[in-house]
Chain A
Amino acid sequence: MANADLTTKAEARDFNFFYSNGHHALKNINLPLYENKITALIGPSGCGKSTLLRSFNRMHDLYPGNRYEGEIVMHPDNTNILDANVDPIEVRMRISMVFQKPNPFPKSIFENVAYGLRVRGEKNKRLLADKVEEALKGAALWDEVKDRLQDLAFNLSGGQQQRLCIARALATDPEIMLFDEPTSALDPIATANIEELMNDLRGKLTMLVVTHNMQQAARVSDYTAYMYLGDLIEHDKTGDIFIKPKDKRTEDYITGRIS
């Protein structure tokens, strides 16, 4: 699977994760995220794919008692983002995230997108306005909301809210974007919009996507990793995973024998 023109943007090395109740949720994970590629994580419920995704921006730090072991290294600076000396807030400023259910803030559309810049202390109005416009365009939402940027974000439809959350994540120029089942709460049309959007971002941004939907993984991703019971079973080009999986367990899953 190694390829000469691929740069590794981040990678998990011998990574283990334990929940506060002692559950060993991730076991010796080794997974590279290639720069400007989309990596999909698939696997049955409870296999640890969301847990792995949420380790990349240290979301588990919010709940006491969770424990990481091993490394998640970010390139080119070679920082182990799990290191106790690394501020999780700094990690989250480099790696942004889109959640399963759209979770806009109780603010205007504009303020939602500007939020990340505001917490970074940005006050320049001109720059904020430019960034918000750019992010909303990047999330294919600008044309729908440009005349009502001061409306409350809750007034948008579910699909629009999710694109707003993508715009919010884009506005801070992240190096990596994490998507935790970004379309599972959306209808098919909104899902198609989000997938199209991810396609547009391909090549500009390193992305990691957790999905329950194998067609989605096949449609949007460049690389796919199959996880089962906390183990990373197989990681390869998406085409190879879906056409000629090397592992029997992967084959069982993608052919529907495990669900």
Chain B
Amino acid sequence: MNTATQVQEPSQRTTISPRLAKNYRRNITERIIEFLLMLCALSAVFTTIAIVVILVYESYSFFEHVSVFDFLTDPQWTPLFEDAHYGIMPLVSGTLTISFVALAFAVPVGTIAAIYLSEFASHKTRETVKPILELLAGVPTIAFGYFALLLVTPLLQMVFPDLPTFNMLGPGIVIGIMVVPYIASVSEDAMRAVPMSMREGAYAMGATRFQTAMRVVTPAAISGIVAAYILAISRAIGETMVVAIAAGQQPNLTFNPMDSAATITAYIVQVAMGDLPHGSIGYQSIFAAGLVLMLMTLFFNVLGHFTRKKFREAY
């Protein structure tokens, strides 16, 4: 009794019965929605590509006038002066120094805040403190700029009398304060995502709260915590207003946070506010600086990606 029947694929889509006509329409709607969703997702990709294209294109014209070697080794950045120098390093050093100060402040404070909120605070405290902390991320950066210039720097000058009015320490700390909510909030989410069973395991071994938090929960959440640091680094490198206001706008090849300096973003905003003719070398220098900024951010993102992969824990 072998009656294997050949199943034939219908040669074209047919509506089986009027009852199912609705089904067909539903498929079309579904596809339109899918297309719209994809469009939204792609808009971010296209924007990124467009920015890269413009940056590379304008920088290309810039590098026709300035050699890449000079760009990377000249210790001066004075594109708007009579005697123009195009060495990006003073801006890079300013950017890195300020970001370093910011992270030296924000990483410990943010991480400890996250550990407290996730492992020690009562439910009520957490629900009160976290939204307030997140509100801090919504304060306009211009307010932080004047906060650095008019409050933090004068306070620091009481400790370090030689500190100039424009310096990198004050704005660095203020940017640190600004990114604490990012680190605290994202790290806290990562720590809360560690399953309770793992904490119970630690407590059952006789661990204290502190030991559980430090030796079990934090290592388990490390990939999320590193993600928070990366977010903070990108934010610190890209921060413009605070440094433009409080760090002075003199490109200065130094890693000493007590000096005044300019960052890449501060330079860009400074030039953009002047009236440079379109296509001039000064105008193009913005794009070269922007390209460097983007590469730096990209570098840290890639670094973060691999660090996260390395520490990735499955549970």
Q: Do A and B bind each other?
A: yes
Given contacts A92-B204, A92-B205, A154-B313, contact A101 B197 (CB under 8 A): yes
Within 8 A of A (CB), among B193-236: 195, 197-208, 211, 215-216, 219-220, 222
Residues of A within 8 A of B222 (CB): 106
Contacts of A99 in B (CB 8 A): 197, 200-201, 204
Q: How far is the CB of B7 from chain A (nearest CB, A)?
A: 37
Query: Which residues of chain A are near B208, meaning CB under 8 Å?
Result: 89, 119
**Count of inter-chain pairs, beta carbons less than 8 A:** 71
Contact of B205 (CB < 8 Å), options: A90, A115, A152: A115
Which residues in chain A, 28-86, are within 8 Å of chain B measured between CB atoms? 57, 59, 62, 64
Which of B122, B197, B201, B220 has the most chain A CB atoms inside 10 A of its CB? B201
Once the chains bind, are A105 and B204 in contact (CB under 8 Å)? Answer: no
A136 on interface, CB distance cutoff 8 Å? no
**Contact status B206-A119, CB under 8 Å:** yes
Q: When each residue 94-118 of chain A gets 1 if its CB lies under 8 Å from chain B and 0 otherwise, what string results?
A: 0011010101111100000001101
List of A residues within 8 angstroms of B313 by Cβ: 106, 152, 154
Chain B residues with Cβ under 8 A from A97's Cβ? 204
Q: Are A154 and B315 closer than 8 Å at their CB atoms?
A: yes
- 0/1 interface trace, chain A 138-158, chain B, CB 8 Å (1 if under): 000000000000001010000
In the complex, are the beta carbons of B204 and A59 less than 8 A apart? yes
How close is B118's CB to chain A, nearest CB, in angstroms? 14
A125 at the interface (CB under 8 A from B): no
Whole-angstrom distance between the alpha carbons of A62 and B222 in the complex? 23
Q: How large is the interface on B (under 10, 10 to 19, 20 to 34, 35 or more residues)?
A: 20 to 34
Report yes or no: A106 in contact with B203, Cβ–Cβ below 8 A.
no
Which secondary structure characterizes the binding site on chain B? helix
Q: A168 on the interface (CB 8 Å rule)?
A: yes
Are A93 and B206 CB-contacts (below 8 A) given A103-B200, A105-B216? yes
A64 to B34, CA, bound (A): 46
Q: Is the CB of A154 within 8 A of B206?
A: no
Check if B201 sits within 8 Å of A105, measured CB to CB.
yes
B28 at interface, CB cutoff 8 A: no
* A contact residues, total (Cβ < 8 Å): 28
Which residues of the partner chain B approach A119 to less than 8 Å between Cβ atoms? 205-208, 211, 215
Could you tell me if A116 and B205 are in contact, using CB atoms closer than 8 angstroms?
A: yes
What is the bound-complex CA distance between A115 and B202, given in angstroms?
A: 8
Interface centre among A104, A119, A120 (most CB of B within 10 A): A119
Residues of B within 8 A of A104 (CB): 201
Contacts of A89 in B (CB 8 A): 206-208
Contacts of B203 in A (CB 8 A): 59, 62, 92
List 10 contacting pairs A-B, 8 Å CB cutoff, sorted by A: A92-B204, A96-B204, A99-B197, A99-B201, A103-B195, A105-B215, A106-B222, A119-B205, A119-B211, A168-B205
| Residues of chain B having any CB pair with chain A under 8 Å | 122, 195, 197-208, 211, 215-216, 219-220, 222, 313-315
Which are the 10 A-B pairs with shortest beta-carbon distances?
A: A93-B206, A103-B201, A97-B204, A106-B313, A116-B205, A92-B206, A103-B197, A106-B220, A119-B207, A106-B219
Contacts A105-B201, A105-B219 known; list 12 others, CB within 8 Å.
A92-B204, A93-B206, A97-B204, A99-B201, A103-B195, A105-B198, A105-B215, A105-B216, A106-B219, A106-B220, A107-B219, A169-B204
